[in-house]
Amino acid sequence: MSHENDDQQPRPRREVPPIKVWVTDVEKAKVAELADQAGLSLSAYLLAAGLKNPIRSKLDFQAVSDIAKVNGDLGRVAGLLKLWLAEKRGQGARPIDVEAMMMDFRALQTEMTFLMSRMHKQ
């Protein structure tokens, strides 16, 4: 295999010959969808796939961001609960307040589970 350009500067992409790939309309639409999910052009997506480079979906990054926000909310709620329990020092709390706090925790846990399952499917 000849490497005539190994010691030279790489040429801009528009100056190198393209590779043609014959696809049906359905295949092209699917590849375009996958490229869009990864935040890449068709060309960049196909090049990455052809070179076996990892292709990450931009949706994965959005899911991670969403999970980080929910995790922050969980931390704040847990901090409030800890402060509340420390201030009460065994005095207890109204059952309705405890139930409301637990409902908040359950809602956040449900959201976290949903986000993690969405990320797993990507």
Q: Are residues 43 and 81 in the same domain?
A: no
**Residue keyed to tokens 């405890």:** 98
pLDDT of res. 27: 95
Residue 77: pLDDT band with limits 50, 70, 90:
confident
Residue 2: pLDDT band with limits 50, 70, 90:
very low
- Region of 11 please: left (phi>0), alpha (psi -120 to 50) or beta: beta
Where do the H-state alpha helices sit in the chain? 25-38, 42-50, 58-88, 95-121
Q: Are residues 5 and 50 in the same domain?
A: yes
> Based on the structure, what is the number of domains in the chain?
2
Q: Are residues 69 and 92 in the same domain?
A: yes
Distance CA 74, CA 31 (A): 38
Distance CA 27, CA 13 (A): 24
Q: Are residues 67 and 103 in the same domain?
A: yes
22-31 pLDDT, tens digit each? 999 999 999 9
Instruction: Name, in order, each residue with C-beta under 8 angstroms of 34's C-beta and a sequence gap of 6 or more.
Output: 45, 55
Q: Are residues 26 and 40 in the same domain?
A: yes
Amino acid at 93: A
pLDDT of res. 90: 59
Question: By residue range, what is the domain housing residue 42?
Answer: 1-55
Q: Please name which of 73, 64, 82 lies closest in space to residue 107, comparing C-alpha atoms.
A: 73
pLDDT of res. 10: 79
19 in helix, strand or coil?
coil
Q: Are residues 74 and 35 in the same domain?
A: no
* Last residue of one domain, picked from the residues 36, 55, 74: 55
DSSP secondary structure code for residue 16 in this structure: S
pLDDT of res. 104: 86
pLDDT of res. 120: 57
Q: Are residues 37 and 66 in the same domain?
A: no
Which has the minimum average pLDDT: 5-9, 81-85, 88-92?
Answer: 5-9
For residues 46 and 102, the model is more confident at 46
pLDDT at 4 over 80: no
